[in-house]
Structure 1
Amino acid sequence: MTTISQDPKGYYSVLGIAPGADLAAIKMAYRSRVKAVHPDRNRSPQATEEFQRLVEAYRVLRDVVHRAEYDATGVHPLIEDGDDYPSTPFACSCCGAITAQPRYVIFHQVKSYLLWARRRRLEGIFCRDCADRTATRASTVTWLMGWWSPPGLVLAPLALVRNLSGGTKPADQNARLLIRQARAFLALDEFDLARALADQAASFARLSVHKRQVDDLVRDIPSTPGRRLRGRWAPWSGGAFLAQLAPLVALPVVIGMFALIVTRPWDKPVTTSAGISVRAAEIGAIRHVAIPDLKLRQAAAPGAPVLALLDRFTTVQVVDSDGGEWSKVRAPSGVEGWVQTRSLYAGSGSLFKQEWCADNRGAPPQSGELLVRRATGEHRLLIHNDGRQDAVVKLKTATGNTVVAYFVPATYTIGVAGIPDGAYRIEFATGANYSRSCGTFVTDMRAGLLPFTLTYKQVSAARAQSISTIPEINLVAPPGDPRAPQPLDLDRFAADD
């Protein structure tokens, strides 16, 4: 704000802050200083005088109208609601220009920090242009940083709606501000501006003293014809309103698209109480296998040669149909053959498999439980799972066949034995709610591959007695560690289950 006197009475220096500091800085400085200068703690002979000086400075600077008068004129009012008034009009606290239609406005800004949110008030005496810029800045920060905590989900929308409506304009402070601005223009013989400001003050006047002062102003202003002052404070006028409204309009669209992606209604089966009828599958339709070990045949006949066995929930595409009982499909491997139409259900099998696995989880596995064993031997291994989720570790051959698989709970280290000779790739998956029926985690499943192989060789009995160390693997590695796991496709992890 442009002032004629930076700090004539030393109010800012008493608080230890620079002229033009905002209300938050003024309050913080007062709380810090009042403890030091209070007579109960300060034994100086001037303690009482210093304390009274501090209280006087705070009383003036904490009030937005009194502070504006002090900054503009170098004096503070003698009467709290009073009839004394400055001869200099107030200026915008941002650009410093004298404005014919000032407003005291509070804009709201929210920043989230995962578990908590910080609210900030951007307040001051603004002209309309500076108010628009401040509102847009506060709303933009809130849009970008206000949502990412539980309190922010509530506080951010409230702040955005308040800013969109033009901010918070306290009635009593704005009534006092406009009354004193009208008096300042009246003293400068700007009668048309003074009358317009008096009319605007009337819309904010709630207290009887303010209503009386407005009536006195209207009576004192000569009724001479002059230009009318066009109101500029309608919330919807100006580009700032549209800039803040656009994200609010787009938000329901974004939420709707996100809900569709999550729920995937096109993959859900239709529930009906009517009898089941087999209809010919349309060419190009996506289906999934509804029974285990479905036979993919070379021709549309029960005795035709079998090309492959399709697992339950395998997703296939219909490429031809005989119009009823049989459909020709293309398997994920690219092999095409004929299956019975009644063995195919609509949609991709991924969602249905997830639901079926969740419903058929079985008993939770125990720590170190052997889930799969297709060979045995005499070698041992230590497995460290320092992560926050359970894990299943598989030792696979170079051709992708699982030899052994173990369950390792979160934060556990287990020792396993019975590993046969050979060179093994180490694949693992993490998640929650392990399903024995599917050999996968139902919730938050991710898979990884350790970037090295584990080799076990047969040694003599004397050599075996001299070996005291046991190989170890870590499922979680520090950032930048060359032995850190590599991402692995979930289907590849469960390929041989």
Structure 2
Amino acid sequence: MQNSDPRGLYAVIGVSPVATAEEIKNAFRRRAKETHPDTSSNPSATLFQQVNAAYKILSDPEARAEYDSSGYQASAEEVRHKQLDPVCCSRCKQATAQPRYVVFRRVYSFILATIRTPVQGIFCASCARKEAFRSSLITMCTGWWGVPWGPIYTIGVILGNGFGGEYSKEAEERLTWYNCLAFLSRGNVDLAYSLAQMSRKASDPEISSRATELSRELEKTGVDPKRSRLKNPWNFGLVERLKHLAMVAAVPLVVAGIFMQDQIASWWTGRPVPRPSYTSTYTPPPRTTKAVPAKIVPVTNACSTRPRNGDALDGYGNAISSQGHVLEIRNGSGGPAIVKVRDSFSNRTIASFYISDNAAAEYPGIPDGSYRIQYAVGDELRSDCRSFFNTAAVGQFPNVERLQTERTSTQIITQHLTYTLYAVASGNVRPQSLSMEAFDAP
């Protein structure tokens, strides 16, 4: 139809009136190369200027909307002498009584680059809803991943699409008035009257006055004003908007779910979530930590049954509490170690554990309280299986660990302490020296 390209701008560039912004850009580059005096075998300065002028209008969403709707104009004289074609939806190609020129947008992100591209045209209300959903869905999948504008553009575009996109009220009024005359030329006076009533409220005084005059003439012919009413199909209801709001929240919720899977699992199962605290790194004293050679150990008084790695030696059972804190010991000190947990107020030994050389063990169920962590590194265990014949290092970590369980309405949060018994160049903890008598105290 001539209405969709009134001045032939689409024809100059070589695309159809329903071409996308990307198609128009690609066609412009091709046509500019074909007509440019420096790159074309048949240069044409006039045609090159026409191509540039056409692209200047069609590449701007607002200017393009104004151009597309400008073709739909008619006079009373035309109505008397010929039938006019009603405005058709650019997507489904069906005539629609209440068309609207709408611009929806999509966002594409490429890590450090984010672009917004328009999808526009004359829509019926049904196709507009479909395009709004499609554009928001594409944006949800492709828009978040740019830095820094991806999330900002994505949220704005999806919400804009969900509320009906961008449209010009003046362009809509021209389309409505044209349709009023088109249906009148085809003898559908009831529909023409309804559209004339809508056009009476137009901001353009010429359209408003002509619509008022036409309404009066049609009423004189017997049109019933009460029967000739149209519902507004362009109200994007609550359900439509909720769909777009869900798309706004979808990606952030997925990302949050990945980083908060422990908390979600805790809420779902009712089990506590261990909360990592920090790692204390042991810097050993200057003397060697290597165990004394076995030949000088009085084997006759040695522990008859050597504990396994992770065994509790005193005052501890793994069933103290299924919802307590976790103590993790990593031993790389050069020999087996005994680790003690003492109450910081009474200095009483709460628990002691045996850790094999180059091994690690976890002890769940540590109750709330304030504790000091002590260690001894040695060789063979004595007959009591709770002390060494020869010790290479004895000490305690300087900090008092205050363990306190946090409870919320959905989860129980405990602490996870990690102690590492070996020298690290950048170690952040220097243990305090401790006598063997103090370590062996009950």
State TM-score, norm by structure 1: 0.49
The amino acid of 2:90's aligned partner reads S
Local SS of the residue matching 2:340: strand
Question: In 2, distance between residues paired with 1:13 and 1:140?
Answer: 32
- Residue 139 of structure 1 corresponds to 136
- Residue 113 of structure 1 corresponds to 110
Please tell me whether the aligned partners of residues 35 and 43 of structure 2 are also in contact (alpha carbons under 8 angstroms). Answer: no
Q: Following superposition of structure 1 onto structure 2, how do residues 402-421 of structure 1 map, counting pairs within 5 Å?
A: none
Q: Following superposition of structure 1 onto structure 2, how do residues 81-96 of structure 1 map, counting pairs within 5 Å?
A: 87-96=84-93
- Residue 163 of structure 2 corresponds to 165
The amino acid of 1:177's aligned partner reads L
- Residue 235 of structure 2 corresponds to 234
Please tell me whether the aligned partners of residues 65 and 176 of structure 1 are also in contact (alpha carbons under 8 angstroms). Answer: no
Q: CA deviation at 1:189?
A: 2.4
Q: CA deviation at 1:183?
A: 1.6
- Residue 282 of structure 2 corresponds to none
- Residue 397 of structure 1 corresponds to none
Local SS of the residue matching 2:95: coil
| Pick aligned residue for 2:340 from 261, 280, 295 | 295
Deviations 1:2-30 (A, max 9, x none): x5999899664432234643466446655
Question: In 2, distance between residues paired with 1:198 and 1:21?
Answer: 31
1:316 is the counterpart of 2:363: yes
Q: CA deviation at 1:142?
A: 0.8
- Residue 121 of structure 2 corresponds to 124
The amino acid of 2:428's aligned partner reads S
The amino acid of 1:245's aligned partner reads L
Please tell me whether the aligned partners of residues 288 and 345 of structure 1 are also in contact (alpha carbons under 8 angstroms). Answer: no
Local SS of the residue matching 2:219: coil
Question: In 1, distance between residues paired with 2:67 and 2:102?
Answer: 15
Deviations 1:245-293 (A, max 9, x none): 3334667766775675699997389xxxxxxxxxxx9622322459996
Please tell me whether the aligned partners of residues 103 and 126 of structure 1 are also in contact (alpha carbons under 8 angstroms). Answer: yes
1:345 is the counterpart of 2:403: yes
1:180 is the counterpart of 2:178: yes
Question: In 1, distance between residues paired with 2:362 and 2:180?
Answer: 77
Question: In 2, distance between residues paired with 1:345 and 1:308?
Answer: 22
Q: CA deviation at 1:155?
A: 0.3
Count residues in correspondence: 322
Q: CA RMSD of the aligned region, Å? A: 5.5
1:436 is the counterpart of 2:427: yes
Question: In 2, distance between residues paired with 1:59 and 1:84?
Answer: 32
- Residue 474 of structure 1 corresponds to none
The amino acid of 1:247's aligned partner reads M
Please tell me whether the aligned partners of residues 290 and 344 of structure 1 are also in contact (alpha carbons under 8 angstroms). Answer: no
Local SS of the residue matching 1:195: helix
Q: CA deviation at 1:97?
A: 0.5
User: Where do 5+ consecutive residues of structure 2 fail to align?
Assistant: 264-271, 278-318, 330-336, 372-384, 387-399, 406-412, 431-442
Q: CA deviation at 1:126?
A: 0.7
Q: CA deviation at 1:165?
A: 0.6
1:283 is the counterpart of 2:321: yes
Q: Following superposition of structure 1 onto structure 2, how do residues 451-462 of structure 1 map, counting pairs within 5 Å?
A: none
1:218 is the counterpart of 2:215: yes
Local SS of the residue matching 2:104: strand
Question: In 1, distance between residues paired with 2:401 and 2:64?
Answer: 78
The amino acid of 1:231's aligned partner reads N
Larger Rg: 2
Q: CA deviation at 1:117?
A: 0.9
Local SS of the residue matching 2:90: coil
- Residue 275 of structure 2 corresponds to 267
Alpha-carbon spacing, 1:66–1:314, altered in 2? closer, same or farther (3 Å)? same
Q: CA deviation at 1:166?
A: 1.3
Please tell me whether the aligned partners of residues 175 and 202 of structure 1 are also in contact (alpha carbons under 8 angstroms). Answer: no
Please tell me whether the aligned partners of residues 109 and 142 of structure 1 are also in contact (alpha carbons under 8 angstroms). Answer: yes
Question: In 2, distance between residues paired with 1:242 and 1:305?
Answer: 56
Please tell me whether the aligned partners of residues 289 and 310 of structure 1 are also in contact (alpha carbons under 8 angstroms). Answer: no
Q: CA deviation at 1:304?
A: 11
Deviations 1:308-328 (A, max 9, x none): 2699x9752238x9x9999xx
Question: In 1, distance between residues paired with 2:210 and 2:356?
Answer: 88
Please tell me whether the aligned partners of residues 21 and 118 of structure 2 are also in contact (alpha carbons under 8 angstroms). Answer: no
1:246 is the counterpart of 2:246: yes
Local SS of the residue matching 2:121: strand
The amino acid of 2:229's aligned partner reads R
Question: In 2, distance between residues paired with 1:182 and 1:54?
Answer: 34
Please tell me whether the aligned partners of residues 5 and 68 of structure 2 are also in contact (alpha carbons under 8 angstroms). Answer: no
Deviations 1:359-407 (A, max 9, x none): xxxxxxxxxxxx97xxxxxxxxxxxxxxxxxxxxxxxxxxxxxxxx9xx
Deviations 1:207-246 (A, max 9, x none): 4444444434434543611442222111116x64443233
Local SS of the residue matching 1:17: coil
Aligned-residue identity in percent: 27
Question: In 1, distance between residues paired with 2:74 and 2:56?
Answer: 12
Question: In 2, distance between residues paired with 1:197 and 1:179?
Answer: 7
Local SS of the residue matching 1:222: helix
1:98 is the counterpart of 2:95: yes
Please tell me whether the aligned partners of residues 89 and 181 of structure 1 are also in contact (alpha carbons under 8 angstroms). Answer: yes
Please tell me whether the aligned partners of residues 107 and 163 of structure 1 are also in contact (alpha carbons under 8 angstroms). Answer: yes
Question: In 2, distance between residues paired with 1:214 and 1:56?
Answer: 35
Question: In 2, distance between residues paired with 1:51 and 1:305?
Answer: 88
Deviations 1:401-449 (A, max 9, x none): xxxx9xxxxxxxxxxxxxxxxxxxxxxxxxxxx942379xxxxxxxxxx
Local SS of the residue matching 1:267: strand
Question: In 2, distance between residues paired with 1:17 and 1:159?
Answer: 26
Question: In 2, distance between residues paired with 1:34 and 1:310?
Answer: 78
Q: As a proportion of its length, which structure holds more helix?
A: 2
Please tell me whether the aligned partners of residues 290 and 345 of structure 1 are also in contact (alpha carbons under 8 angstroms). Answer: no
User: Where do 5+ consecutive residues of structure 1 fail to align?
Assistant: 71-75, 270-280, 327-336, 358-370, 373-404, 406-433, 440-497
Question: In 2, distance between residues paired with 1:296 and 1:325?
Answer: 10
Question: In 2, distance between residues paired with 1:343 and 1:154?
Answer: 43
Q: CA deviation at 1:170?
A: 1.4
Deviations 1:83-128 (A, max 9, x none): 9788110101001011112111111111111011121111111111
Please tell me whether the aligned partners of residues 35 and 41 of structure 1 are also in contact (alpha carbons under 8 angstroms). Answer: yes
Greater relative contact order (CA < 8 Å, ≥ 6 in sequence): 2
Q: Following superposition of structure 1 onto structure 2, how do residues 18-57 of structure 1 map, counting pairs within 5 Å?
A: 18=16, 20-22=18-20, 25-26=23-24, 29=27, 33=31, 50=47
